[in-house]
């Protein structure tokens, strides 16, 4: 290859700091170098499953005082209880012994700004309508109540007596409990 051709070629991501994924893989190598098997089982120590929004501002373990192995964490856009969240909760309870469910939505959620129109826009762009619902909402408290109701009425879940819902304030870090009956 001539000198001028190599000057115009794109360097390998590994040599330039790489992509975000490259950074994550490198971080994992450093982590694994000092890793010791904690000898844990897949069953959460606290027998709790937490369903929360995927928002990057929520550090659930820190916010809830949890350690590795304490809980199952199920995250999705909005932290809403969808069919897939019920699937995960069912496996968590029936196969892995969880008994409590904690739901965590948050202030300033992006789902408060979306509508089902989002699905229509996707259909226009890609030529296929998504099979899933956006699950957007305008009232975060009401959506927490709806999610609690979905858990409590699921025929697949064994333990529905300890289901509590909260809204995490992204400005203060505090949880505000939502009364299911309001």
The helix/strand/coil state of 82 is coil
Is 30 found in the same domain as 61?
A: no
Asked if residue 51 and residue 14 are part of one domain, the reply reads: no
Same domain? For 90 and 105 the reply is yes
| Residue 94 shares a structural domain with residue 5 | no
Q: State the first-to-last Cα distance of the chain, in angstroms, to the nearest integer.
A: 72
pLDDT digits (tens, 9 = 90+) for 63-119: 999 999 999 999 999 999 999 999 999 999 999 999 999 999 999 999 999 998 999
- Which one, of 135, 142, 155, lies nearest residue 87 by Cα? 155
* pLDDT band, very low/low/confident/very high, at 28 (cuts 50, 70, 90): very high
Q: What is the DSSP letter of 12?
A: P
pLDDT of residue 4: 43
pTM: 0.86
Q: Are residues 17 and 77 in the same domain?
A: no
What is the C-alpha separation between 43 and 100, in angstroms, rounded?
Answer: 13
Q: Do 138 and 51 share a domain, yes or no? A: yes
The CATH number of residue 55's host domain is 3.40.1050.10
The confidence band for 10, taking pLDDT boundaries of 50, 70 and 90, is very low
Specify whether 166 is located in the same domain as 133. Answer: yes
pLDDT at position 16: 52
Residues 167 and 85 in one domain: yes
Alpha helices in the chain, H assignment, sequence order: 3-8, 20-33, 60-64, 83-96, 117-126, 140-153
Determine what percent of the chain is predicted with pLDDT higher than 90. 86
Output the pLDDT for position 13: 44
Mean pLDDT of the chain: 91
The range of the structural domain enclosing residue 61 comes to 40-178
Residues 72, 152, single domain; the answer is yes
CA-CA distance, 167 to 109, in Å (whole number)?
10
pLDDT at 8: 44
**What total number of domains does the chain contain?**
2
Whether the Cβ atoms of residue 160 and residue 99 lie closer than 8 Å to each other: no
């Amino acid at each position: 290859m001539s000198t001028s051709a190599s000057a115009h070629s794109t360097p390998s991501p590994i040599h330039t700091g790489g992509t975000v994924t490259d950074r994550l893989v490198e971080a994992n190598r450093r982590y694994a170098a000092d890793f010791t098997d904690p000898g844990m089982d897949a069953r959460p120590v606290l027998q709790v499953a937490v369903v929360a929004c995927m928002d990057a501002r929520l550090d659930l373990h820190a916010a809830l005082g949890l350690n590795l192995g304490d809980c199952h964490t199920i995250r999705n856009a909005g932290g809403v209880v969808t069919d897939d969240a019920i699937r995960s909760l069912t496996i968590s309870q029936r196969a892995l012994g969880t008994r409590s469910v904690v739901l965590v939505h948050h202030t300033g959620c992006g789902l408060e700004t979306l509508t089902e129109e989002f699905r229509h826009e996707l259909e226009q762009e890609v030529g296929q309508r998504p099979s899933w619902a956006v699950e957007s909402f305008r009232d975060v408290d009401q959506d927490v109540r709806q999610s609690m109701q979905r858990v409590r009425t699921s025929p697949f879940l064994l333990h529905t007596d300890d289901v509590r819902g909260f809204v995490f304030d992204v400005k203060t870090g505090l949880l505000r409990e939502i009364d299911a009956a309001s």
